[in-house]
């Protein structure tokens, strides 16, 4: 999957997770830019991303994620 495809899929997941159908995602966005991205929703997001992309993220990988780009890079790295 290329970066744009991953971004499109993550956007869909985030819209559903954060109950925000109008959410438009850009790679440089962080938790601060997205309303509702809190610790609880973050766990749902991680589980949904793991299921959608067929990857497993460790606790230290999750802690190091700060932006949408970090998710994209991690997913690409895991899929390659």
Partner 1 sequence: MIFHSLDYLVFLPLVVAIYWMLNREKQVLFLIAMSYFFYGYVHPWFLYLILTSTVVDYYCGLAMGRFVEHKLKILIVSITVNLGLLGYFKYFGFFVDNVAELLILLGLPSFTNNLDIYLPVGISFYTFQTMSYTIDIYRGQLKPRKNFLDFALFVSFFPQLVAGPIERAVNFLPQIEKKRTLSVDDVQSALFLLIWGFFKKMVIADNIAFIVSKIFLLENTSFMLVWVGAFAFGIQIFADFSAYTDIARGSARLLGFKLSQNFNHPYISASPTEFWKRWHISLTSWVHDYIFLSLALSRRLRTAVGGLIISLFITFFLNGLWHGAGWSFVLWGLYHFVLLLIYAWAKSVTPEYIRDHQFLRPFQILLMFILLHPSYIIFLNVDISYMWRDLTLSPFVNSEIQITAALFLFAKALLFSLPLWAHTIFAYVRERYWKGDRWEPIAIQTVASMIMFIGILVLRGDSVDFIYFQF
Residues that bind partner 1 (CB under 8 A): 19-22, 35-36, 38-40, 43-44, 46-47, 57-60, 62-64
Distance between CA atoms of residues 62 and 66, nearest Å: 9
Q: How far is the CB of 70 from partner 1 (least distance, A)?
A: 14
Judge contact between 45 and 52, C-beta under 8 A: no
Nearer to partner 1 by C-beta: 4 or 47? Answer: 47
Nearer to partner 1 by C-beta: 3 or 44? Answer: 44
Distance between CA atoms of residues 1 and 43, nearest Å: 23
């Amino acid at each position: 999957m290329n970066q744009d495809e991953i971004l499109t899929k993550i956007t869909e997941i985030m819209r559903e997770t954060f109950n925000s159908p109008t959410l438009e995602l850009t790679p440089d966005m962080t938790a601060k830019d997205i309303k509702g991205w809190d610790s609880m929703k973050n766990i749902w997001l991680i589980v949904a991303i793991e299921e959608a992309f067929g990857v497993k993220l460790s606790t230290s990988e999750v802690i190091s994620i700060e932006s949408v780009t970090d998710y994209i890079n991690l997913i690409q790295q895991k899929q390659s």
